């Protein structure tokens, strides 16, 4: 009976470990949020490196890479906002430019 309890406990611990690990392999999103702030990747419509003008960026909810990397321009930048990103809109809600992520040229046709 003692061995049966050890085996049963081992199976329960193993099942719990598998169950919890299933939540750690989720696909990374382009948006993360902590409390009331959101950090998202936006595509630069100007291509100017270091451009911190929010209206020169647009949010595209797409996991594919829309950057033509054959140039030295800025393709994507990270913005922290107090509003959730909206597709085809610039960062809103007290946007703070966090920096360039990828160089290249934003090409929506890719």
Q: What is the pLDDT of residues 57-110, one digit of tens each?
A: 999 887 778 888 877 788 899 999 999 999 999 999 889 999 888 888 887 777
Determine the structural domain holding residue 100 and report its residue range. Answer: 29-106
Phi, psi values for residue 61, rounded to 5°:
-85, 75
Q: Residue 19 pLDDT more than 60?
A: no
Taking the C-alpha atoms of residue 67 and residue 75, their distance in angstroms, rounded to an integer, is: 6
pTM > 0.75: yes or no: no
Taking the C-alpha atoms of residue 22 and residue 9, their distance in angstroms, rounded to an integer, is: 20
Among candidate residues 4, 1, 87, the one with its CA nearest the CA of residue 42: 87
Phi, psi values for residue 10, rounded to 5°:
-60, -40
Mean pLDDT of the chain: 79
In a domain, 11, yes or no: no
Among candidate residues 69, 55, 63, 53, the one with its CA nearest the CA of residue 106: 69
In a domain, 12, yes or no: no
In a domain, 77, yes or no: yes
How many folded domains does the chain comprise? 1
């Amino acid at each position: 009976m003692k061995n049966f309890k050890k085996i049963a406990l081992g199976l329960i611990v193993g099942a719990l470990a598998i169950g919890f690990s299933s939540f750690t392999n989720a696909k990374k999103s382009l948006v993360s949020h902590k409390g009331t702030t959101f950090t998202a990747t936006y595509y630069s419509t100007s291509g100017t490196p270091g451009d911190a003008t929010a209206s020169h960026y647009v949010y595209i909810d797409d996991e594919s890479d829309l950057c033509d990397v054959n140039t030295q321009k800025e393709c994507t930048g990270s913005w922290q906002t107090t509003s959730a990103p909206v597709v085809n809109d610039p960062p809103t809600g007290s946007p703070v430019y966090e920096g360039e992520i990828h160089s290249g040229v934003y090409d929506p046709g890719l």
